[in-house]
Structure 1
C-alpha cells in the first residue's frame, strides 16, 4: 500500500513539473509592444488608417471639415471620374437605374445625369414619371455610362440604330461602360460585348448574350476590362459598389455601403431560379414571353412586308 501511494505521489510531481514548464514557456513568449497595442486599439476604435500607415485620432478627425473627411476615406482613385450618365427610356426598370445612381453618386465630385433619347418625361415600367434634362443629342462624352433594363421597350431599343450608334460613340471614350439586367441586351446589340464575359437578367440569359457573341457568366455581376454587367435589377447595386471599391478603394466603398445602410437580409430564400420554386420560375418566364410576343410578332410582320 505504501508502495502504491509512493508511485501516485511521484506521478503527481511529474505532472506538476510539466505544467510548470508549460506555464514558463507561455510567459516567455513575445508580448505585444506598446506600439502594437496602440495599433490594435486604433483598429478596434475604428480610426482611419491610410495605405501609407498614417492613422488619425478622433481628436484630429473632429477638427476636419466634411469634405476633408470624405477625401481621407478614399485612396487616390484608379481613374478620375467627372461625369456619370444613366440612359433611361420608357419602360425601364426604376431600380435598375436609381439603385446604381444612389451608389455611383458617392463618386465625388462628379456630374450625374439621367439621359433620354429625348428630353422631357420618361415613364418607367412602374408608370413613374421622371423629368429628363439631357438627351442623347446633348451628350458626347461620359466617363461612366450605365444602361438599365426593362422588357418590351428594352427589346425595341436593341433595334434602334440611332440609340445604338450613340452608345457606341460614348463607349469609344468612356472609362467604364455598364449595364444592369436586360440592359445587357442593348449594350450587346452595339457589338461591344462580342467576345467579352458578361451577365444579364436570368431570363434566357445565356441564349440572349450568345446572340451578341458575349460569354455568359452565371454571376451576380462581372467585369471584362471596362465593361461591367450585372444580373437582374437589384444586382446593379452590388455591381456599383464593386466599381466604387475598384476605383476608390475599400475604405470609401465601406463608407458608401454604410451611408446607404446596405446590409441585405431577405425575409426568405429566393430571387434567383436556383432558389425559387420551379413552377414560379416557369410561370414568370412565360409572362416574359407573353410580354415580348406582340413586339416580336410585329417585327416579323414588318420584315416580311419589306
Structure 2
C-alpha cells in the first residue's frame, strides 16, 4: 500500500514538473515570437544580419525609430541631504539618454548635497530657482525623507511643480514626500517595502505590491533599485521599446542576483524581521518629536 501511494505521488509530482517546464517553454516561445514580430521590413520579413550590418547610420535609425508619444523639455531630480544615491542616480543613468531633454539636479538650496552614502554632489539649482518641470523625480532616503514630509516649503514647491508637470515620479520612500504633499490621495502607488501598506494608507493611497506602478501621470517605484525598472518603463512609454531596449543594452541591465532575496516575500524571515526592527528603532525618535 505504501509503495502504491509513493508511486502515485511521484507520478503527480513529475506531472506538475512537466507542466511547469512546458509552461516556461511556452512563455519563452511567446517572448521569442514577440521579438521576431518587431522591426520587420516593409514586406513583413525580418532583416538578415548582413542587411543590418551594411546599413548606414541614417538608415539604421529609420529602422528602429519610433515616434515619441510625448516630448519633454526638462526633467528635474530632487536631491537632499540623506537621499539614497541609487534612488537618484539610477533613474538619471536611464533618463540621461532621453535627448534633447535637459536634466537638472535640484536641491532644497543650491550648493553641496550629501547622500546617505556620503557622496557629495554640487547642485546648481535650488527649489526657489525652478518654476516648472515636465518630469519631477523624487528619490527616497530614510530619516531625512521622513523629515522632508514635514517641510512645508518643500511640499508646497512639489505641489507647484506637479500642477504643470507631465509626469510626477517617486523612487522608494520618495513616495512619502508625494503622499505628504497630498498628491497620492486615491491613487495606486508603491514604495519601499518597509510598512508600505500602512504608510501609503495614511496618505490615502492604494498600495500596489509591484516593482513600479503608475496611475495617470503619477509613477512610483518600490525600493532603491526598482527606480531603474520604472525609468526604463517610462522610456518605453515615451520613446518606444526599441529605444528603451537600446538604453537597457547600453547599461547592460540584466540583473541576476547571486541569491534569492531583496524583498520580504523572498528574504529569510529572520533577516526581514530584524531589518524592519532596525528601521523602526531608527525612525522612532523622529516620530516622537
Note the C-alpha offset of 1:71: 7.3
Query: Is the contact between residue 73 and residue 255 of structure 1 (CA under 8 Å) also seen in structure 2?
Result: no
Provide the secondary structure at the position in 1 that maps to 2:54: helix
1:58-73 aligned within 5 A:
58-62=53-57, 64=58, 73=64
Q: How does 1:189-204 map to 2 (within 5 A)?
A: 189-204=180-195
Q: Summarize the alignment of residues 82-231 of structure 1 with structure 2, pairs less than 5 Å apart.
A: 82-231=73-222
TM-score (norm 1): 0.78
SS of match in other structure, 1:284: helix
RMSD (CA atoms): 1.9
Residue 219 of structure 1 aligns to a residue whose secondary structure is coil
User: 5+ unaligned residues in a row in structure 1: which ranges?
Assistant: 1-34, 48-56, 299-306
Query: In structure 1, what is the equivalent of residue 18 of structure 2?
Result: none
1:209 & 1:199 partners in 2: Cα distance? 8
TM-score (norm 2): 0.82
Quote the residue 1:256 is aligned against: 247
Structure 1 residues 71 and 151: CA distance shift in structure 2, 3 A: farther
**What is the DSSP-based 3-state SS (H/G/I as helix, E as strand, rest coil) of the residue aligned with 1:191?**
coil
Instruction: Provide structure 2 residue ranges, at least 5 long, that are not aligned to the other structure.
Output: 1-39
SS at match of 2:159: helix
User: How far is the alpha carbon of 1:94 from its aligned partner?
Assistant: 0.3
Structure index of larger Rg? 1
Question: What do residues 195-227 of structure 1 show as CA deviations (whole Å, max 9, x unaligned)?
Answer: 000000000000000010000001010000000
Secondary structure of the equivalent of 1:85? strand
CA distance in 2, matches of 1:293, 1:160: 18
